[in-house]
């Protein structure tokens, strides 16, 4: 009997935060948690893979806050969404992963100010949980796609179950590029 890894049940669409060209032959989706140390450790790997692959790779980040073990993860995800509403999702994404030990509301407000965001609108969005539905939609899409922990990656819609080191991911992406051509 052979093993078939789970597939992404919610396809990548316009509501997703994507970096890289929409026409790229490979789409790498990460379900991540801004408070997860493993997600933080993978960030430089993902950045390196994006630089290496260039226009061959589109990277998508979806929220999967593990609130049972990461009490600030959901608020941090909402902060990324609130920053995204002001055109700064990726800068906030990077700040959150670089500062995983400092994700309280005052910390998030400081990051928003650092990025030059409208801090009043940002804080109001967090206090009113304006972007909680978007975060929960990502989370539920992950549950339906078989995500059990973070980070979890999908390459062209198929869950990646290999090693989480740069060389292994690079080989998987190279294979996906070849198959897409």
pLDDT tens figures, 45-96: 999 999 999 999 999 999 999 999 999 999 999 999 999 999 999 999 999 9
What pLDDT does 2 receive? Answer: 84
Count of domains forming the chain = 1
pLDDT averaged over every residue in the chain: 97
The angle that helices 119-127 and 73-85 make with each other, rounded to 10 degrees, is: 140
* Burial of 156 per CB tally in 10 Å (0-12, 13-18, 19+): buried
Domain of 134 in residue numbering reads as 17-180
Q: What is the tens place of the pLDDT at every residue in 101-141?
A: 999 999 999 999 999 999 999 999 999 999 999 999 999 99
**3 lies in a domain?**
no
The answer to whether position 126 is within a domain reads: yes
Report the pLDDT value the prediction gives residue 44, as an integer from 0 to 100: 97
Query: Is the peptide bond prior to 151 cis by the omega test (within 30 degrees of 0)?
Result: yes
Backbone angles phi, psi at 62, to 5 degrees: -125, 145
Q: Are 40 and 151 in contact (CB under 8 A)?
A: no
Separation of alpha carbons 102 and 105, rounded Å: 9
Q: Give the CATH number of the domain where residue 83 resides.
A: 3.40.30.10
């Amino acid at each position: 009997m052979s093993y078939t890894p789970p597939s992404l049940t919610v396809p990548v669409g316009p509501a997703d935060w994507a970096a890289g060209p929409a026409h790229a032959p490979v789409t790498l989706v990460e379900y991540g948690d801004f408070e997860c140390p493993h997600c933080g450790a993978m960030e430089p790997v993902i950045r390196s893979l994006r630089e290496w692959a260039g226009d061959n790779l589109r990277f998508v980040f979806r929220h999967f806050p593990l609130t049972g073990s990461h009490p600030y993860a959901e608020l941090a995800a909402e902060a990324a969404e609130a920053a995204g509403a002001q055109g700064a999702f990726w800068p906030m994404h990077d700040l959150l992963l670089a500062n995983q030990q400092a994700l309280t509301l005052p910390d998030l407000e400081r990051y928003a100010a650092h990025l030059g965001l409208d801090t009043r609108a940002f804080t109001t969005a967090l206090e009113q949980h304006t972007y909680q539905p978007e975060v929960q939609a990502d989370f539920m899409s992950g549950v339906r796609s078989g995500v059990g922990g973070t980070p979890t990656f999908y390459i062209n819609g198929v869950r990646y179950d290999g090693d989480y080191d740069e060389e292994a991911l690079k080989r998987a992406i190279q294979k996906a590029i070849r198959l897409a051509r």
